Amino acid sequence: MQERICEISADEQELVPAKMKTMKTMKTDRQESRGEGLLLKNLGLTVRVSVLTAAATLSTIARADGPITLWYQRGGNPDQQRIMQKDLVEPFNAAHPTTPLTLDVLAGGSGDKKIRMAVISGKGPDIVMTPGPSTTLALVQSDHLLPLDEYIKKYNLDKRILTPVLRTGEYHGHNYALPRTFETMVLYYNKTLFDKNGWAPPKTMAELNTIAEALVAKGITPFSVGNGDWRAANEWHVSVILNHYAGPENIYKALKGEMPWTDPVFAQAIDVLKDWYQKGWFGKNYFSLTGDQQALLLAKGEAGMAPNGTFSFDNMVAAFKQTGQELGVASFPSLREGVPYPLYSIGTGSTMSINKNSANPDAAAAFLDYLYSDDFYDRISKDWPGDWNLPLTSIDEAKLTKNVSPIFAKTFTAFSNAVAQGNYGYTTWTFWPPATEDYLIHGIEQVWLGQISTADYLKKMQEIFAKELADGKVPPPAPR
Amino acid sequence: MRPTQGGTLGVLSGWITRLRDSPVPFLLPALAINVAIILIPGLLTIAMAFFEWDGASTPSFVGLDNFRTIFADPVFFSALFNNIKWTVIFLTIPIAMGLGAGSLLLVAKRGRTFFQVVYFLPVIIATVVVARVWQGMIYNPESGIVGWLKLYGINLADPLTHPPTALYAVASVDLWHWWGFLAVIFFAAFRQVDAAQIEAAVIDGASFFQLLRYVLIPAIRPTITLMMIMTIIWSFLAFDFVYVLTQGGPAYASEVLSTLSYRYAFYNYTMGPAAAVALVISFFGLIATFFYVRIQQREGNQ
């Protein structure tokens, strides 16, 4: 029993500080009892044994067998829920019969808030899924998540997950969250239309302008985009323009507080975006179009291109299947000299952590070990490509092509390779603090509609950002 | 058992008798529920308006900073103005429609049940369903009636997507969903009017509008007053249709105080300004309630 307690105090110093406090109290009891009389000594011994028993019981509870829980935060239709049972739950439970996983699927819109509230109130699931680093950061700062460093070492997760993405979970030198959804912005285009006109996907601002103007001349909308069913889609375009015009180096400096968002390079970037909207490149129905409708307009050739996320792959493929035309995917062009091409901005649509109040953190870590395995990735990418796109170092085109369409395989391999080589940017939904992100989404509509100037927009963004930076709410940007 | 004077049992028995005869046991269940789910959260919200809290860390007292923050945010004033516009719309159009339809139901006896069902039907359809039907099947320029009209050369824009029309487009959907409720309430009130009064007016040669103006409306004035006061309170709580249809957009054009409060709380994770906005909403509700209570007292005295 004592050996067991010692083992915990040595191995899990960082992982279970609460238990460590118990151990410290216990040691103090022991030291104090030494100089006392026999009676007191006996009393001290009795107390010590009681404390030891209690601590041992606590440790047994901490390591007890029993189910572990995961609340999937992004909702799922019945088919997707069956896939998760088949690919995620059943194989894990077969290998870990004494610590089976219980999976609850929460509604997409409010799932993250339910998890956050449950975790804050000291309850919630063992494995904490959040919608991204800024939510994780609040839970880390309020001491509700367990540092994962020991588990990362134990399961070699640092070798299995792409380093820049893994490091988005770091806070004060410890890692608290593993990135789950690995996503980026790309340029979808109608390949049939492009081939017919002899166009190649644009790589520079000049090429993009030529194609877009030619499309406008033909009565075709250059970009099939909209926010009808997802208002935050606005930030996809802000992300694209900041990364591909201002460039990732400048964004990194701004996120670190070394450069203000009011810098001319950001102002020029926002002006370009404003110009695209006001020239009609986003079409007439930006505020109405849903994701499905955008994909269909592109697939019908009524629009030529669509800056959109890799998370929309399914939608795009389904729409092009419907029209029989061919889908193309490319990296978004470099919009300013000096900004590299190809460049992929890193997006982490959700993260995985371990609840500090978990009764069984080891089992939760064993689940993370399975989640980030090639075995699981092969299963899930075959059944549900896109959502469980983990940032694994082992992704390669040949392996992926066995399970998914060649165009999906090619895109993700290019993205993974670019990130591995350090050629990456920053999506706003991953690296921006919450209030700045919210203003970025809503304020850009005022810029597009001519209600405020670019300078006013960036000035307010800088004010909100400066406060959040001072309050420690800015997630750590992937290093350069 | 007969209580013994001065004994513990006697004291206990006395307490039980007093408790049995007092209204406290009857008040307790409702009181407990109200304290737990209204008073405590209400007091916490008031307190939260003076603290800075991100929903996870320890709250810190900031005095009036949250109020300074919301008063410095131009969106707060546009949202407040939108709430006032919303109140004016709902104090006039649906109440006029409800009075008109209610009085017609009173006059036209045939098909009365059928029309009551038709008027009331939108009220019982879930908000999200109503909102999605209007958004996807009516307003949408690709899939809705607006899109269908485009095929015949009638080019209409989606009113939800233009700042000048967005709030009115959302209010129209809520209004369609709401006015039938008022029609049925007013019809029920009209039926309580003394038939002899109506008959006398008709014999005296009163037209339909004169009947409405001089007999029916004055007779149901307390009901109309109650509905108007409730409309003011509900208008400052308007959230669901705005949230589902536009989320306050585009460019904050349809933002109302409750969606602003929600955004502060659950998107920005700034609970303090969210609570401050909630207090402003409650302030308008309190004013309406004050007038309602005064009117009630006056009518009680009469």
In a domain, A479, yes or no: no
Regarding whether A50 and A25 lie in a shared domain, the answer is: yes
Instruction: For residues A295 and A240, give the distance between their C-alpha atoms in angstroms, rounded to a whole number.
Output: 18
pLDDT tens for residues B81-124?
999 999 999 999 999 999 999 999 988 888 889 999 999 999 99
CA distance B50 to chain A (A): 18
Regarding whether B25 and B173 lie in a shared domain, the answer is: no
| Last residue within a domain, chosen from A58, A80, A98 | A58
Q: Which of B160, B252, B269 sits opposite A138 (nearest CB)?
A: B269
CA distance B234 to chain A (A): 24
In a domain, B209, yes or no: yes
- For residue A312, the enclosing domain spans 183-345+424-470
In a domain, A403, yes or no: no
In a domain, A401, yes or no: no
- The reply to whether residue A287 touches residue B55, judged by beta carbons under 8 angstroms, is no
pLDDT > 70 fraction of chain B, expressed in percent and rounded = 98
Instruction: For residues B246 and A287, give the distance between their C-alpha atoms in angstroms, rounded to a whole number.
Output: 9
- The reply to whether residue B161 touches residue A435, judged by beta carbons under 8 angstroms, is no
Regarding whether A302 and A208 lie in a shared domain, the answer is: yes
CA distance A468 to chain B (A): 10
In a domain, B42, yes or no: yes
Regarding whether B264 and B122 lie in a shared domain, the answer is: yes
What is the separation of C-alpha B202 from the centre of its chain, rounded to a whole number of angstroms? Answer: 36
Q: What is the model's pLDDT at position A42?
A: 44
In a domain, A164, yes or no: yes
- For residue B135, the enclosing domain spans 73-301
Contact list, A465 vs chain B (CB under 8 Å)? none
- The reply to whether residue A435 touches residue B269, judged by beta carbons under 8 angstroms, is yes
Regarding whether A112 and A42 lie in a shared domain, the answer is: no
Does the pLDDT of residue A404 top 90, yes or no?
no
Q: What is the model's pLDDT at position A354?
A: 97
Taking any CB pair shorter than 8 Å as contact, residues of chain A touching chain B are 113, 116-117, 120, 138-139, 141-142, 144, 227-228, 231, 284-289, 293, 297, 434-435, 438, 442, 445-446, 448-449, 451, 473
- Chain A residue with CA closest to B268: the answer is A435
Q: What are phi and psi of A452, to 5 degrees?
A: -135, 160
Among residues A362, A343, A324, A368, the alpha carbon closest in space to that of A425 is found at: A343
Among residues A231, A182, A140, the alpha carbon closest in space to that of A438 is found at: A231
- The reply to whether residue A473 touches residue B54, judged by beta carbons under 8 angstroms, is yes
pLDDT tens for residues A259-309?
999 999 999 999 999 999 999 999 999 999 999 999 999 999 999 999 999
Regarding whether B32 and B85 lie in a shared domain, the answer is: no
The count of other CB atoms within 10 Å of the CB of residue A392 is 18
Regarding whether B253 and B128 lie in a shared domain, the answer is: yes
Q: Which of B54, B135, B247 sits opposite A231 (nearest CB)?
A: B247
Q: pTM of the full predicted structure?
A: 0.83
pLDDT tens for residues A359-403?
999 999 999 999 999 999 989 888 887 778 899 998 888 777 877
In a domain, A463, yes or no: yes
Structural contact between residues A5 and A52, judged by C-beta atoms closer than 8 angstroms: yes
Higher pLDDT residue, A405 or A336?
A336
Name the residue with tokens 């007779």: B219
Q: Encode A112-143: b = buried (16+ Cβ within 10 Å), e = exposed.
A: bbebbebbbeeebbbbbbbbbbbbbbbbbbbe
Regarding whether B41 and B127 lie in a shared domain, the answer is: no
CATH number at residue A282: 3.40.190.10
Q: Which of A120, A141, A449 sits opposite B250 (nearest CB)?
A: A449
pLDDT tens for residues A140-153?
988 999 999 999 99
CA distance B176 to chain A (A): 21
In a domain, B164, yes or no: yes
pLDDT tens for residues B155-192?
888 999 999 999 999 999 999 999 999 999 999 999 99
Regarding whether B80 and B27 lie in a shared domain, the answer is: no
ipTM associated with this complex: 0.83
The 3-state DSSP class for residue A175 equals: strand
Domain count, chain A: 3
Regarding whether A196 and A176 lie in a shared domain, the answer is: no
In a domain, A478, yes or no: no
Regarding whether B176 and B45 lie in a shared domain, the answer is: no
Regarding whether A436 and A311 lie in a shared domain, the answer is: yes
Instruction: For residues B209 and A397, give the distance between their C-alpha atoms in angstroms, rounded to a whole number.
Output: 78
| Last residue within a domain, chosen from B61, B82, B99 | B61
pLDDT tens for residues B247-282?
998 999 999 999 999 999 988 989 999 999 999 999
Mean pLDDT (chain A) is 86
Q: What is the model's pLDDT at position A18?
A: 37
In a domain, B202, yes or no: yes
Q: Which of A120, A285, A287 sits opposite B55 (nearest CB)?
A: A120
CATH number at residue B274: 1.10.3720.10
- The reply to whether residue A442 touches residue B252, judged by beta carbons under 8 angstroms, is yes
Q: Encode A22-42: b = buried (16+ Cβ within 10 Å), e = exposed.
A: bbeebeebeeebeeeeeeeee
Regarding whether B248 and B122 lie in a shared domain, the answer is: yes
- The reply to whether residue B252 touches residue A120, judged by beta carbons under 8 angstroms, is no
- Chain B residue with CA closest to A119: the answer is B56
Alpha helices in A227-340 (DSSP H): 234-241, 248-255, 264-278, 291-300, 313-323
Q: What is the model's pLDDT at position B63?
A: 95
Regarding whether A175 and A101 lie in a shared domain, the answer is: yes
In a domain, A7, yes or no: yes
User: Which strand (E) or helix (H) includes residue B218?
Assistant: helix B217-219
pLDDT tens for residues A153-171?
999 999 999 998 999 899 8
Regarding whether B170 and B295 lie in a shared domain, the answer is: yes
Which candidate in A130, A287, A292, A432 is best for mutational testing of the B interface (most B CBs within 10 A)?
Answer: A287
